[in-house]
């Protein structure tokens, strides 16, 4: 009975020199490996500071009594944070038309839900409840 010995193929012998993996990739910083430029890192830092500032502002608005303007102020700050996150962190600003269409569809659906909810709240007293 003969024994069969399986050996893995030698990958380095078959690959040309230009396709061999670079050995020193772990020694370089992550930004050099993925190609992040200095201005992009700076923009990410500014955006992070902006989102954190808006978060602090929304927390501060919660402790200030502005009457009915509290809701308007909180929603305005939230919309600003949402725009920063969607446009820059989710890369919608530089994405394809299909992605923009999907985002617009999601916002349209959100607007429909908010409109129907507000219509329900506004019209609750129009029809009297029998027995009252």
**Residue 9 lies inside a defined structural domain of this protein:** no
Note whether 93 and 105 are within 8 A (CB).
no
Note whether 67 and 112 are within 8 A (CB).
no
Residue 60's domain comprises: 38-90
**Residue 10 lies inside a defined structural domain of this protein:** no
Q: Summarize pLDDT for 121-130 with one digit per residue, the tens.
A: 999 888 877 7
**Residue 132 lies inside a defined structural domain of this protein:** no
Q: Summarize pLDDT for 45-70 with one digit per residue, the tens.
A: 999 999 999 999 999 999 999 998 99
């Amino acid at each position: 009975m003969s024994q069969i010995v399986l050996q893995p193929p030698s990958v380095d012998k078959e690959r040309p020199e230009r396709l061999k993996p670079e050995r020193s990739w772990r020694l370089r910083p992550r930004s050099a490996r993925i190609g992040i430029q200095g201005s992009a890192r700076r923009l990410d830092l500014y955006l992070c500071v902006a989102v954190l500032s808006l978060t602090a502002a929304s927390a501060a608005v919660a402790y200030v009594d502005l009457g009915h303007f509290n809701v308007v102020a909180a929603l305005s700050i939230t919309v600003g944070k949402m725009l920063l996150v969607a446009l820059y962190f989710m890369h919608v600003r530089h994405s394809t038309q299909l992605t923009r269409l999907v985002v617009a569809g999601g916002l349209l659906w959100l607007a429909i839900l908010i409109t129907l909810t507000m219509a329900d709240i506004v019209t609750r007293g129009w029809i009297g409840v029998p027995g009252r």
